[in-house]
Structure 1
Amino acid sequence: MADTLLARLDRWGAEQPEKTVYAFADDNGIITASLTYKELDERTLNLARWMRAPASAKGMGLSPDEKVLLVYPPGLDFIVAFVACLRAGVVAVPVYPPDPRKLRKDIVMFTTVCSNAGAKTALTCASYNHVKKILDIKQKMTFSERYPWPDLAWVETDRLVHAPAPSSSTLAAPSADAIAFLQYTSGSTSDPKGVMISHGNLTSNLHLIVDALAARTDAVVVSWLPQYHDMGLIGAYLGILFAGGNGVYLSPFSFIKNPSLWIELMAKHKATHLQAPNFAYALCARKFKPSSPSSLDLSSVRHMINGAEPVDVHAIEAFYATFSPLGLPRGVVRPTYGLAEHTVYVCDSSPSLTHLRVVKSVLESEDKMERATAATPANDVKDMVGCGEPKVDMRIVNADTRRTQPDGTVGEIWIRSSSTTQGYFNLPALTQEMFHASLVDAPEVHYMRTGDLGVLCERQLFVCGRLKDLIIVRGRNHYPQDIEKSVEAFDAIRPGCSAAFSVALNGQDDEVLCVLAEVRPEASQPLSELANAIRSAIAAEHGVQLTGVVFVESRSIPKTTSGKISRRRCKTAFLGQSLSELHRSINLDDRSPDETAVNHPPGPKRTYPPFESVPAASVTTFLCSEIAQLLNVPKTHVTNATTLHELGMDSMGLTQLQGIIANEYGVHAPEEVLYSETTTIDGLYEALKRAPPSSPQSAPNVGGDNQTSFLEDPPAPPRARMCCGCIAIR
């Protein structure tokens, strides 16, 4: 019998049935739901039989290879449904659960994915489906703007797992070539691509992961990564199941509100294997303020993947400086490269981190790595972090000549292995182009083109960039054309004359979103107002904070000879301030950890006075001050009548604000208030007077016992293009 994930589930269910495989923690780190290997085996088998049972027997009537959406808030119901799909032979399509209260932003991508996959059924939990129905009825009754859901049959799986299936027939094991699931890229909303990951691909990559990471039955994962994208799904959930270990999980929102919770759960559960994007390591190092540091012991940690966005060596060193005194071994943080087109994992660095300082100008102009010397100007030095020795057939190729590049020379990364997926669903031409590339001297051998630029040096992979532009902010991918479309929706901006890109400013670890745009000569709106309006639109439509806005004169933005925007040259001009600028606005958060109350770990339980007894002026002044700090704008920019939407607060900022309010006043700021486009500071104060205490028992929990709030996009790897260079995924 093949050593597949399902075979491993059978094995662990027999060998260690009472061992906990999955546990889910709330905002305070308290376990609210768990599953043993026996329970996971029984529930997934029962649900799989419900899926395959005919409609005449009140089953779902799903056929093999049918596409099924998985729409769940963070929690354990998702992983039960996913494994059940594998057992039933139906094709799972994990998707981000649209917030029923904010459909305008989420429903477009959801509908496009649904249409592309041809899905007719959506699996979910009762709590999510209930909120969805209530909000839909409310929209109809209030005649508010409606954003219709696709025509789907919604099935609440948490009600079915405990009910005996109408059929007890044996389920045939799927073939290695059968598609296990579609992993949709978080790319342009108009062009989603579903990567076809077969059962064989999944088996191959899981073997690769557990062998490379030395993960066995004693492995313990603690993860906050989204369950519907491959770095979290495969790396954190399926990997631990395959290894026979156990995992503790929390919502991405819990992490953002309190990054220290991740660290404390590592110590409490003696975690061995962790995964996170670079921003999380930097954030934890900046925000960690332990209530009792002597009680935290991180000596159990053996491996920490750092991927999904550019890896910064300074963030890694800051993480070690903060947590080595708590026993964290040096060498456990591993820059990692991977992508969904290769299931997820490709390679990761060795314990001895390979860090090269190279001449930036030579790398950019000659596509070669040249070591910097003491004589190299500081502004011409670039830090490069290695992702380890490739564990698969990898070539660095000149994409034009289709010839292998010599070591030390930049080229496109091409890969060939049994983890290479079958291509993009319903996109045969693109699949042929990207998954059937061949070298000029070996036309019969097919490689998968990653679209990433890299260098092999001293047998190590260094990722340098992408053939195409991509913006990664806080671990999430954003397509520049989507951002630019929102910018150019303003009448004052010349159509086709804006560029969006990400840059690292003022020595910050993380890259931030910036825009360069031409302003019409006849525009009359004050440019500072225009910049703030664009920030609000970007935050509302894309869930990301726009840090830098520069307006330039007409016909000055860099373009190619064919008239297309040259984003790379725009980025250079932005950094060098080399254009005729009309307005420059940079909102950069460069505060020290002591300058903000965000993300303190839970200490001894505090007693709060009744919120009604706190003077209104005191609360609103505090809120204005904290919001100004979060956005790094002058306090005068935030007034009681200003809406959070107008300020351009993104999902991470709003989640942090929620944590600040809970920490300061002991009340839970309702998500529907925070994310409303009309909520002012005064309005937020009025809502807080009616808000429940910020306790697990009284805080609104859309997902019930097994889920946490799904409101807003989490700041997590959109898909695990785990990379150490300068990019993530399409």
Structure 2
Amino acid sequence: MPTLCPPNNTFLLFSTSKQTIQMCFSKFRMAYCLRPHRDLCLELRLQFTYIREDKMYCHVFFSQKDDTICKTLHPLKYFSSFNRTSALQSQPETNVCLLQSHLLEYTSVNVVIAFLSLALMCIVRPDGPPQLCKTDQIGEIIINSRAGGTMYYGLPGLTKNTFEVIPVNANGVPIGEIPFVRSGLLGFVGPGSLIFVVGKIEGLLMVSGRRHNADDLVATALAVEPVKTVYRGRIAVFSVTVFYDERVVIVAEQRPDASEEDSFQWMSRVLQAIESIHQVGLYCLALVPANTLPKTPLGGIHISDTKQFFLEGSLHPCNILMCPHTCVTNLPKPRQKQPVGVGPASVMVGNLVAGKRIAQAAGRDLGLIEDQDLVRKHQYLTEALQWRAQTDPDHVLYVLLNAKGVTVGTATCVQLYKRAEKIAAALTEKGSINTGDNVVLLYPPGIDLIAAFYGCLYAGCVPVNVRPPHPQNLAATLPTVRMIIDVSKAGCILTTQSLMRILRSKEAAVSVNIKTWPTIIDTDDLPRRRPPQIYKPPTAEMIAYLDFSVSTTGMLTGVKISHAAVSALCRSIKLQCELYSSRQIAICLDPYCGLGFVLWCLASVYSGHQSILIPPFELESCLSLWLSTLSQYRIRDTFCSYSVMELCTKGLGTQTELLKVSTCHACGVVWMWDCPPERSAPQKSCANLFWVLQGTTGPDPCTVYVDMKSLRHDRVRLVERGAPQSLPLMESGKILPGVRVIIVNPETKGPLGDSHLGEIWVNSPHNASGYYTIYGEEGLQADHFNTKLSFGDPHTLWARTGYLGFVKRTELLDASGDRHDALFVVGSLDETLELRGLRYHPTDIETSVSRAHRSIAESAVFTWTNLLVVVSELCGSEQDALDLVPLITNVVLEEHHLIVGVVVIVDPGVIPINSRGEKQRMHLRDSFLADQLDPIYVAYNM
């Protein structure tokens, strides 16, 4: 190792007190200016003297000779120089120039250090082992001197790494035994064995394999007209790790009088300047209010605290600009889908040769369990209600509760039957309808809705259940009611007196044409006389009711459900959940479509069990209503949605001792599709209202962990719990009796093997008959309800559910002793996003976004011109709004390898939800494009 000998005319000062100033001034002529009694040490390492603008400078040095002061010295810059008196006449001055982190005006760094006598300096690599650098390499300066510190008190590990550094050669062999001290400065050896300092270790940024100096970036940013925008030149530069690389972030304090337009113009110019000068792209540029960045004891910017605030979302910027599209260049290549040259027959044969069975599962046989004579005798709901009214008239079928948990209505078998007969007579007399006409039921959740449904059946009409308009929001809810009435071509409306007034009010006339309503019958005022017998038994193929719902893609569909399908569905639910006359169940579901309507109106009449009805809107005034009902009535089985369960369990921590729900089996908890964190099956599709339900017997639902990367490629790869990129999938439940399920390739319509991802097809006796009408997508395929496999079993008719899933045979045994076939649902085909050639499910991205910050209440994603748009509801203060933008961008990039194009922050309740609790993403997209969201902030990532 070459010995570095210092020039005789140079001395380096590392003391900071006033006494040292006077002592040194008596022996040397020097320029020195420092804030008194303030230690400028870099973590107790060897210190260099910084000169600061101070009034003391004028009093001490202006009386000296001109050659005492360095030619490059300026009170606004941080330099120091000092010379021996004896050497001034023989040798030229040697300047000692050091860059400090708070440099404001000096951007070009050309720093020279000459060092003490009996001291050694060398340059080692800044990362890894302390290997000596070559003369043209930049590294960290390490020093050996008796004037330096020796240790950190009580920190032996940090002491060894800082004060006991032994340089090594290229082979890793130590060079000598002399310990060196790390200075924290970057530099290189120049001509004349001088050390040139170019920066500090703590300001070193390693981005895409290249090193950048934070001070250089600050100087470049300050060169772009900082006077109008930056407050006192306070700028912090640091890097954050996002998607396997470091990303540069610049945070500056904005002047109070700076406008938003000036701020964004300055940010745009800074982006261009840094990209052209330093050849590095900025990931984020944020402006915060003046005097809000954390400060060091000396008044500078605390970089580490600023970085921590940025990562945890507590920086509270007033302007922000994200540029992930320009700086994130290490994304995987987009997937190129190759044409498939293998037909479905070859795929099936390949699975069989590989030892994989066809992915299919089935529930137990429906026809071998129940007495066929009883089924034929009362195979329709109207006949079942009439038979129960005759054999057990006082048996209570329904109990309706209010928000206080008080019973506000009951219905025995005979009461329900008599009221249904009166409604049927009113339909015949006032409605002037014929057999097979459609009748709209417009009721709040209650017993009146049930009676009106059976009244339509006794009159030979087809009921159409519609959610009533909200009195406080007619402009948004009444047009949907009008649309369903027009699409269904209803000839009559059954409703209550209060709702009839709303339909004919002046407020309603603003939204719809109230003069063209069909005949409206008020069922609160029915004749008391005994109605005539007008019942006509239906046939199995006749339509029992129409199930109208709005899908998550914004399509309004009406599905035809036959009498045979209704009976088969009720029979399957009865057998699955063991529902008998002595049983009680609690129902807290919206009774307007799908499973909620079946359990609210149909199941009790068929099975004879007692249903305790809890309207979901009552939970808004009493969150503990559902759980207290389970405790009070000692309910064993309950049915509710995930949103109801989440709403009831929030804020009830102090009341858990009063709730005794240990007797609740909870086998009928309905997990709606948009329910993180563990996904389960949606029980409703257009083709089949209900195909799975957790029963009272059989194995508990199991959970598997699937690699998310494989799901994006339409593959299933099971991993262990806790594995990176793992997604928990919960089994959808036990398949209903009489139901068969098969996994099919949606493109080739060929069957797939076990644990292969495909579309779920269902064959059951309670499949829907078809679409009554489709509003929004009239060109839907005609074979949606009656389609066949392209290979294998060409005779069985299947219904396409539109959901992706897979079947996995487990080691568990079912009630029959056979191995259990578990069905897992991944997502809806209609909702999937095709980005970069991969398939993404919105609920996965939304779950990640919801975890990004505590102030995110709900989120929804959709695509717009090949850009991913994230809409998040802010449940906290509005000053947190801009903090969410980088956090959302980070989490989506890290977990899903996608760049967010637009981040929209909105108020709570803006994301539309349909009657089943599902997000209406297409309606949200339409509102975004029409500029109707009234957002708090919109960030367009560059």
Question: TM-score with structure 1 length normalisation?
Answer: 0.62
Q: List per-residue Cα deviations over 1:465-521 (Å, max 9, x = no partner).
A: 1211179xxxxxxxx9xxxxxxxxxxxxxxxxxx999611355999943346879xx
Counterparts of 1:306 and 1:93, CA distance in 2: 23
Matched, 1:180 2:540: no
Per-residue deviation at 1:247? 1.5
Distance 1:271 1:470, change over 3 A: farther
Contact 1:225/1:276 (<8 A) preserved: yes
Distance 1:377 1:434 in 2: 38
| 1:222 and 1:247 in contact (8 A); partners too | yes
In 2, Cα distance between the equivalents of 1:236 and 1:303? 17
Alpha-carbon distance between aligned partners in 1 of 2:918 and 2:419, rounded to the nearest angstrom: 29
Return the alpha-carbon distance in structure 2 between the equivalents of residues 183 and 46 of structure 1. Answer: 24
1:278 aligns with 2:642: yes
Task: Confirm or deny: 8 A CA contact 1:452 1:467 kept in the other structure.
Answer: yes
Q: 1:405 aligns with which of 732, 738, 752?
A: 752
Structure 2 unaligned regions, length at least 5: 1-376, 810-820, 835-841, 875-880, 921-942
Structure 1 range deviating more: 119-128 or 275-284: 275-284
Equivalent residue number for residue 377 of structure 1: 723
The residue aligned with 2:711 is 363
1:159 Cα offset (Å): 1.3
Unaligned runs of 5+ in 1: 54-58, 316-333, 472-479, 481-498, 520-529, 537-546, 553-568, 588-646, 653-711, 720-730
Q: Following TM superposition, by how much is the alpha carbon of 1:549 offset from its aligned partner in structure 2, in angstroms? A: 12
- Map 1:146-157 → 2, pairs under 5 A: 146-149=511-514, 150-157=516-523
Between 169-178 and 193-202, the greater mean CA deviation after superposition = 169-178
Offset at residue 429 of structure 1 (A): 6.2
Give yes or no for contact 1:220–1:247 (8 Å, CA) kept in 2.
Answer: yes
Deviation at residue 31 of structure 1 after TM alignment: 1.0
- Asked whether the equivalents of residues 103 and 147 of structure 1 are also in contact (C-alpha less than 8 Å), the reply is no
CA distance in 1, matches of 2:864, 2:689: 41
- The amino acid of 2:390's aligned partner reads A
Residue among 512, 524, 533 paired with 1:158: 524
CA deviation after TM superposition for structure 1 residue 337, in Å: 3.3
Secondary structure in 2 aligned to 1:248?
strand
Runs (4+) off by over 6 Å: 499-502, 508-511, 516-519, 547-552, 712-715
Contact 2:558 2:772 in 1 (8 A): yes
The code of the aligned residue for 1:348 comes to Q
- In the TM superposition, what whole-angstrom CA distance separates every residue of 1:288-329 from its partner, at most 9, and x where no partner exists? 2454724634415463232332555769xxxxxxxxxxxxxx
Q: Match of 1:419?
A: 766
Instruction: Give 2:506's aligned amino acid.
Output: I
In the alignment, structure 1 residue 432 sits paired with structure 2 residue 782: yes
Give the aligned length: 505
Q: 2: CA distance between counterparts of 1:154 and 1:51?
A: 10
Query: Which is further off, 347-356 or 168-177?
Result: 347-356
Task: Indicate the structure whose relative CO is greater, using CA pairs within 8 Å and at least 6 residues apart.
Answer: 1
Pairs within 5 Å for 1:391-540: 391=737, 392-426=739-773, 430=780, 432-441=782-791, 442-458=793-809, 459-469=821-831, 503-505=846-848, 506-507=850-851, 512-515=858-861
Tell me what 1:309 maps to: 673
Q: What secondary structure, in the 3-state scheme, does the structure 2 residue paired with 1:193 have?
A: strand
In structure 2, C-alpha distance between the alignment counterparts of 1:301 and 1:117, rounded to whole Å: 39
1:342 corresponding residue in structure 2: 688
| Per-residue CA distance 1:609-658 (angstroms, 9 max, x = gap) | xxxxxxxxxxxxxxxxxxxxxxxxxxxxxxxxxxxxxx454599xxxxxx
**Which one of 413, 419, 423 corresponds to residue 47 of structure 1?**
423
**Equivalent runs, 1:701-720 vs 2, <5 Å:** 716=917
- Asked if 1:74 is matched to 2:449, the reply is no
Tell me which protein shows more helix as a share of its residues. Answer: 1
Structure 1 residues 574 and 275, CA gap change in structure 2 (3 angstroms): farther
Contact kept in structure 1, 2:479 and 2:511, CA below 8 Å: no
Structure 2 CA distance, aligned partners of 1:444 and 1:362? 33
One of 557, 570, 574 as aligned partner of 1:206: 570
Aligned to 1:123: 494
Aligned residue in 1 for 2:601: 237
Deviations along 1:162-194, one digit per CA (max 9) or x if unpaired, are 5336x5134111111111111112137974210
Q: Within the alignment, does 1:105 sit opposite 2:469 as a pair?
A: no
Q: 1:405 offset after TM fit, Å? A: 0.6
Partner of 2:406: 30
State the 1:153 CA deviation.
1.3
Inter-partner Cα distance in structure 2 for 1:310 and 1:189: 13
Contact 1:49 1:88 in 2 (8 A): yes
* Secondary structure, counterpart of 2:403 in structure 1: coil
Against the structure 1 CA distance between its residues 174 and 241, is the aligned structure 2 distance closer, same or farther, given a 3 Å change threshold? same
Partner of 1:437, secondary structure, is coil
Displacement of 1:390 in angstroms is 5.8
Cα 1:399–1:286, aligned 2, differ >3 Å: closer, same or farther? same
Q: Which amino acid aligns with 2:782?
A: Q
Aligned to 2:10: none
Measure, in 1, the Cα distance between the counterparts of 2:919 and 2:642: 13
Give the conservation status (yes or no) of the 8 Å contact 1:335–1:348. Answer: no
Any conservation in 2 of the 1:396–1:414 contact (CA below 8 Å)?
yes
Aligned equivalent of 2:899, options 579, 586, 609: 579
Secondary structure of 2:807's counterpart equals strand
Deviation at 1:216, TM superposition (A): 0.8
Amino acid at match of 2:640: A
**C-alpha separation between the residues in 2 aligned to 1:38 and 1:398?**
50
Equivalent residues of 1:209, 1:345 under 8 A apart: no
Partner of 1:17: 393
Instruction: Specify whether residues 251 and 347 from structure 1 end up closer, same or farther in structure 2 by C-alpha distance, changes over 3 A only.
Output: closer
Letter in 1 for 2:766: S
- Counterpart Cα distance in 1 of 2:904 and 2:624: 32
- Pick closer, same or farther for the CA change 1:407–1:248 going to 2, 3 Å: same
The residue matched to 1:337 in structure 2 has which SS?
Answer: coil
> What is the distance in 1 between the residues matched to 2:513 and 2:882?
34
Contact residue 225 and residue 717 of structure 1 kept, 8 A? no
Conserved in 1, the CA contact under 8 Å of 2:433 and 2:491?
A: no
CA distance in 1, matches of 2:870, 2:749: 44
Query: What amino acid is the match of 1:579?
Result: I
- Deviations 1:126-170 (CA, angstroms, capped at 9, x unpaired): 12213443xx23677xxxx4433452211111212x5336x5134
The one of 627, 632, 643 aligned to 1:263 = 627
Fraction of identical pairs, as percent: 19
Structure 1 stretch displaced more, 290-299 or 36-45: 290-299
CA contact (8 A) 1:123 1:156 kept: yes
User: Retained in 1: the 8 A contact 2:691–2:736?
Assistant: no
Residue type at the aligned position of 1:117: S
**How far, CA to CA, are the matches of 1:119 and 1:438 in structure 2?**
34
Partners of 1:277 and 1:307 within 8 A in 2: yes
Distance 1:189 1:297 in 2: 38
1:227: which partner in 2?
591
Per-residue deviation at 1:585? 5.7
In 2, distance between residues paired with 1:224 and 1:36? 20
User: Which residue number in structure 2 is paired with residue 215 of structure 1?
Assistant: 579
Is contact 2:439-2:461 (8 Å) kept?
Answer: yes
The 1:3–1:309 alpha-carbon spacing in structure 2 relative to 1, beyond 3 Å, is same
Aligned CA-pair RMSD? 4.0
Partner amino acid, structure 2, of 1:242: Y
Q: Which residue of structure 2 lines up, in the alignment, with residue 704 of structure 1?
A: none
